[in-house]
Chains A and B, each alone.
Chain A
Amino acid sequence: MTALGRRRGLALAIAASWACSDPFHTSFADIEPAIAYARREPIAATVPVGTIKLMNYNLKFGGGRIDFFFDCHGDRVLMSRAEVLRHLEGLAAKIQQVDPDVLFVQEIDVNSKRAAFVDQLRWLLDHTRFNFAYYASQWKADFVPSDGIGAVDSGNAILSKFPLRGGTRIALSLREDQGALERYFYLRRNLLRAELELPGQQLIYLVGTHTEAYSKDGTKLEHIERFKVELDQLSSSGNLVVGAGDLNTLPPGSAQVLGFDDSACTEDYEADDYSQEADWLQPLYDEYMPETPLAEYQADNSRFFSHTTRGDAFWNRKLDYLFTNGRFVAASGLTHQDEQSGGTATMPLSDHAPLSVSLELP
C-alpha cells in the first residue's frame, strides 16, 4: 500500500470511527467557540450613559404555557410552527417593553423538531433591537429516540445591542447518575462566556448558564460552584463581570423548599425538593451583588418568584438570578411577574418570569 493509500485508509478509518463514536452528534469539546449571530441589518443603538440594562429570561423554547409531557401536566411533545411564532411574538413584545441592552436567555431552540425547526435566536434578533448574539447548545442531537422528541438543538444565548466578542462555550460536568445510553442523549450544560464592547468603556465579561435541574449525584452543586469559579477568575483579573441564568435552586432563606403545588410528576425522585440546597447559593450572595438583595427577598419571597410549571397558577419559587462584581443600580432589580410588577402579563409566555436590573458603568 502506498503512503497516499495508507493516509486515505487512515482518514477513512478515522471518519468511520468518529461516525460510530458519536453517531447522533451529541458531544462537545470541553471549551469551544460559541456560535456567533448578527442581525442581518444592524440598527443603531444609543450609547449608554452611566448604566446599561440587563435582562435574564428562560424562554422555555417558545413553548408558552403548553403542557408538555416532561412537566407531567400534559402529553404534548411537538409544536406547530404557528404556535412557536405566536409564542415568540409574545416573548419579543415583553423583551421590547423592557428594552434591555443585554439579554441572557436559557432554553432557546435553534433547530429542534419540538419547535418546528424555527431558529428562535435568529427570529429574536430579527424582531427585537439586538444586533449581536452568541449561542451555546446544551442539548443537541440529530435524533433523540425517546418520546418522539427527534432532532433537538437547544441552549443558552446572550443577545446584545452592542458588539460581543470572544464567545466561548465552557462545558459543565455531566450527570453520573444515568446509564451510558441515557447520558449520551441527555443535556450537556455549559457556561456561555462573552465580552461586551461598549463605546468608551472597558470590556464587560458576561457569563450565562442553566445549571442541572434533576441530578441526584451532586451535579447541580458542581455546576453552581463552577459558575462561581468562572466569575471569580474573571473578577480576580480586575474585570467587570455579570453572571446570569437559571440556577435551578432557591436563594438562602426561602420559606418553602419542597412540596410545591405544581409538582405533578410521580416518579421516585422529586425534582423540586430543594431542602438539601439551602446554602448552595450563599457563596454567590456573599461575594457578588444580586439583582435582588437577599434581605429583601427573605423579607418577602413571593415578590421575586420566577418559576412555576403550572400555567393556571402563579409563580411559586425563585430560580433565576443576575449577579455582578460591580454595582447594580439600587432598587433597579425587577422580577417581571405580571402587570403590577413589570407592566405586562408574563405567566402566559414561559414557565419562567424574566428579571431585569441596571448595571452601573465604571
Chain B
Amino acid sequence: MTLRRIGPIAVLTSAAAAGAAEPTQFGEWPSETALTVAPGRLTFGVLSQSSWGISPRIELRLHPLSFWVLPHAEVKLRWLDQGRWQLSSVHRLAYPTPFLSLVSREGSGGLLPVTTDVPHALVLDNDVLASLEWHPGQWASARVGASLSAQGGGDETLLDFPFLYQRFAALNAPVVPRIALSAEGELLGQLWYSLEFRQYWLPLQDFPVLHASEYAAELYVQLGLSHRIGVGGRFSVARLPIGSRTHFLPHVDYQVAF
C-alpha cells in the first residue's frame, strides 16, 4: 500500500480518535432523518445547509452563501416523537429568479441564454418524512414529497444541467413528485455514514414523463461535538430530454456547530 493510499486513511483515523472522547448522537447534526437538531444548536457547512434548532420540534435550515443568489429557507417540523418512530414534515420556499438571472449570460457560466426573460418565480417544496431507529444509533427513513412553482411572465427556463435539472424542474412542470429512502448511523467509533436513494419524476412540458434517480453515500468523521468532515459522492441516473445519462458528483464538506 502506498503512502498516497495510507494518507487519507491515517487522517480520517486520527481525526476519529481525536474526537473519540465525546460520543456523537443524532440531533447534534442536521440529518436526512425526521429528527431535528437539538434546540439552540447552530451548525454551519461549507457545502451543506446550515441548521438551527429553534425548539425541540422545529429546525430551520438555509445555506448562508447560496442564499444571496438563491434566496431560500427550509423548516423541518417534527410532528410525532414515539422514541424509535419519528414523523416530520419539511417545507422549503425558494426564490430562484436571482440565480437564473446570474446564469443567463454570455460566455462561460452561461447556463441559460443571455436573452432569457427570467421570470419571477417561487418554488415550494413539501415533504413528509418518517424515520425508524431499527437498531440503537441506526436510522432508516422514507420521504415523500413534491415540488411546485408559481411564476409570472418570462421565458421558459429549462435548466438542463446535471443535478440542477431535477431541482429546478418545477419551473417547467406542474408538479415534480419525489420519494427518498435513506439510512444513517454510526459505523465505527466516530465514523458515521449516510446513504440515500432519491427518485424524481419530471413531467416536463413537451416531453414524455422523465425521471431522475440519485444514489448518495457519505462518510462523516466526527471531530467531537463541534466539527465534522464529510466525504462522499452522488450518482444521478436520469432519463432527460437528451436521453439517459449518468453523472457523478464527488464532494467534501466541513461542518462546524455551536
| Chain A interface (Cβ < 8 Å from any Cβ of B) | 15-16, 19-20, 23-25, 69, 75-78, 81, 111, 113, 117, 142-143, 145-151, 153
Contacts and interface: CB of A to CB of B under 8 A. Distances in A.
A148 B247 contact: no
B158 A113 contact: yes
Interface string B99-122: 000001111111111111000000
Contact of A147 (B110, B240, B243, B246): B110
B23 interface: no
25 contacts: A15-B248, A16-B233, A16-B250, A19-B235, A19-B247, A19-B248, A20-B250, A24-B162, A25-B245, A69-B106, A77-B113, A78-B113, A111-B242, A111-B243, A113-B241, A117-B207, A143-B161, A145-B109, A145-B110, A147-B107, A148-B105, A148-B110, A148-B114, A148-B116, A149-B110
Nearest to A151: B242
A336 B158 CA distance: 38
A76 B106 CA distance: 11
Contacts of B133: none
Nearest to B108: A146
Contacts of B233: 16
A75 to B, nearest CB: 5
A16 B108 contact: no
Which 5 pairs across A and B sit closest by C-beta, in order of nearness? A148-B113, A19-B248, A77-B113, A151-B242, A148-B112
A69 B246 CA distance: 30
Nearest to B115: A75
Q: How large is the interface on B (under 10, 10 to 19, 20 to 34, 35 or more residues)?
A: 20 to 34
A273 to B, nearest CB: 23
Interface in B180-218: 206-207
A76 B155 CA distance: 14
Given A76-B115, A113-B158, A153-B242, A148 B248 contact: no
A13 to B, nearest CB: 12
B238 to A, nearest CB: 10
A146 B103 CA distance: 9
Contacts, number: 75
A142 B245 contact: yes
Given A145-B108, A148-B113, A151-B160, 18 more contacts: A15-B248, A19-B247, A23-B162, A23-B247, A76-B113, A77-B115, A81-B206, A111-B242, A113-B160, A113-B241, A143-B111, A146-B109, A146-B110, A147-B113, A148-B110, A148-B112, A149-B110, A151-B242
Interface string B222-258: 0000000000010100001111011110100000000
Contacts of B245: 25, 142
Contact of A142 (B111, B112, B242): B242
A122 to B, nearest CB: 13
B242 A148 contact: no
Interface in B84-110: 104-110
B162 to A, nearest CB: 6
Contacts of A111: 242-243
Nearest to B165: A143
B68 to A, nearest CB: 21
Contacts of B108: 145-146
B214 to A, nearest CB: 13
A92 to B, nearest CB: 22
Given A69-B106, A76-B115, A148-B113, A23 B248 contact: yes
Contacts of A76: 113, 115
Contacts of A147: 106-107, 110, 113-114
A148 B109 CA distance: 8
A152 B250 CA distance: 24
A77 to B, nearest CB: 4
Nearest to B247: A23
Nearest to B159: A150
A264 B74 CA distance: 49
Of A77, A111, A153, most buried by chain B (CB within 10 Å of CB) is A77
Contacts of B115: 75-77
Given A23-B247, A69-B106, A111-B242, A145 B111 contact: yes
B67 to A, nearest CB: 22
A81 B233 CA distance: 36
A150 B160 CA distance: 7
Interface string B130-147: 000000000000000000
A148 B104 contact: yes
A117 B233 CA distance: 30
Interface string B145-177: 000000000000010111000000000000000
A258 to B, nearest CB: 27
A16 B246 CA distance: 11
A143 B248 contact: no
A20 B206 CA distance: 31
Given A117-B241, A143-B161, A148 B111 contact: yes
Contacts of B116: 148
A188 to B, nearest CB: 17
A71 to B, nearest CB: 14
Given A69-B106, A117-B241, A143-B161, A150 B111 contact: yes
A299 to B, nearest CB: 44
A25 B246 CA distance: 9
B236 to A, nearest CB: 10
A251 to B, nearest CB: 35
Nearest to A182: B108
A96 B243 CA distance: 30
A142 B162 CA distance: 8
